[in-house]
Every structure is written in C-alpha cells, then in structure tokens.
Chains A and B, each alone.
Chain A
Amino acid sequence: MAKATIAIHGGAGAIARASMNAGDEQRYRQALSLIVADAQSRLAAGQSALDVVTEAVRQLEECPLFNAGRGAVLTHQGQHELDACVMDGSTRAAGAVAGVTRVRNPVLAARAVLENSPHVLLIGEGAESFAEAQGLERVENHFFTTPQRRAQLERAIADNQMRLDHDAGSLSPDRKFG
C-alpha cells in the first residue's frame, strides 16, 4: 500500500540563490519545514487528505512570507482581495471563495463552502456574509498588510506594472510570483 504523502508550495517565480540573503532563505526553509512536518504528523495520525491540505494551507496563510492570508499582496487601491479553493478527490466536492477582504483564513471559508453550501464558488460580499454566518474569524483588511508588501505596491505603482508575488519580492528582491 502506498504511503500517505504531502506536498506544499509557497509560490514560484524568479527566485535566484544569488538574490536572497542567508537569513531570508533560512526563514523560508524553516516555515516550509515546520508546515510540511506538521502535515506529515497529521497524515500519520490518520487524518484525511482533505483535513491535512486545509490545515497546511491555513498555516501558510498565517505565515507573512507567503502571498496568501497575512502577507498577501495589495491591489492598486491598496486593499487585499483573497481567493482560495479546496477540492476532495474522493467525492469531487469543491468549495471556493474569491475577492474576500475580511476573512482571516480564506481556505477555511472555501472549506465551509464545500461542506455547508450547495454552491462551489462564492465571491465578494456574498462570500463574506457566508463566512460570517459560518462563524469564521474576520479581521480588518489591514491585518493582511506587511511593510514588505506595501513597499512592493509602491514600487509597482511607480513602475506602472502588475507583478506576481515572488517577482515582486517580499523579503527578497524584486522577482518572484505565484
């Protein structure tokens, strides 16, 4: 029988070894290591794949290094609009939210759509209302902002460009995305 297996990602892009200092690289590696190790433990304990991917992504959303949840990039207007999706391979059940601005963990809202809604994708205010009715934690939009993301936005506006997250740089230089 195949073993339980987990993989996670925190975005792709123009991430060059030469452009990242050792401290930043260590922070990324440590965050990824802790989250994947926790997921491994959950799988070893018999948790379902659906529960494990939901929790892994929730933890990634809580880490300000990555472009999701806290630490997400900013729109031209200086706001955060967050999107998430969860899908269960056994049942093809799926849940997703788009354009949410005050749900602390969009992946939990997506999971709630999967479990407690006849729909697949909710957007904007409808998704916010649904998440609130589900009892999910809500925060002010600026909760997601970090100084690095604010600086990225200012550079992108100055250059009149849109940038994928790792190409725009967080702790590292100006090129990464996801």
Chain B
Amino acid sequence: TVGAVARDSAGGLAAATSTGGITNKQAGRVGDSPLPGAGCYASAGVAVSCTGSGEVFMRLLAAYDVAALMEYGGLSLAQATQKVIMEKIPELGGSGGLIAVDAAGNLALPFNSEGMYRAYGVAGEQPVVAIYRED
C-alpha cells in the first residue's frame, strides 16, 4: 500500500491511497484503501492515508476516526493519531500505520509495526526519509 497527504500553500489538504491488497487474497476482497473514511480521508482539518490490516482499519473507520477525535474530541493531530494507531487498531488485533497532516501543517507518521516506509518534507527544506522505528 502507498499513500500521500499534503497541505498546500493555500491551506488546502488532500489525501490519496493506492494498493494491490494482500498476497494470496481471495478474488474480490477489498480492504480499507479505496474506502473514504477507512484508509483515506481529508477534511478542512486533517488529511490521512492508512496502511495495515485492512479489515481492522475498515471496522474502525480509522482515517475518519482521526478527524473525529480532533474535531469532536479536541485532540491534537499527534494525540489523535497515537490513539488510533497505538491503542484502537491493536485492540482489534490490527497492525500498521498512517500518515497525516493537519491544517497548521503539522505532520504525524505513527505505526505500531516494526517499520514503515515513509518520507516527509516542507517546501524548500531537505526531505526526511525513514524506514525503521529507530530512524
């Protein structure tokens, strides 16, 4: 699974996610990636792209849950993404991660697995690339 989230210079947010699914999956199985609110979501407040155990992300509406925790719960981006990835997803036996950016340009890239291929950057600055937890 791959994904991207961005905040542009006008303050607009967007998210995109794309996947081939799971190796040896049953034909016709669809995971969270193409489902707005599950594996991909964007509002005026946050943009989110997920990767991981698709069925668990679907059952939790994980991407939208980040937005809801921020909008209704008053959580920060960091708090909301930590809660979803480090608490709610594992509670249902899932694993994976997400990338997210909020309206202020804050970024969060949490994951509960050993690693996540990830990179981020601010316009005009050196990009940061990471794979492992300790990166």
Contacts and interface: CB of A to CB of B under 8 A. Distances in A.
Contacts of A4: 6-9, 105, 122-123
Interface residues of B, number: 79
B118 interface: yes
A149 B23 contact: yes
Interface in A1-50: 1-17, 20, 25, 28-29, 32-33, 35-37, 39-40, 43-44, 46-50
Contacts of A16: 114-115, 132
A56 B117 CA distance: 14
B22 A90 contact: no
Contact of B34 (A32, A39, A85): A85
A152 B23 contact: yes
A86 B35 CA distance: 9
B93 interface: no
B84 interface: no
A47 B129 CA distance: 22
Contacts of A99: 28, 30
B16 A162 contact: no
A61 interface: yes
A124 B36 CA distance: 17
B22 A49 contact: no
Given A48-B10, A177-B113, 5 more contacts: A6-B123, A60-B4, A68-B19, A120-B36, A177-B53
Interface of B: 1-31, 33-36, 39-47, 49, 51-53, 95-101, 103-105, 107, 109, 111, 113-125, 127, 129, 131-132, 134
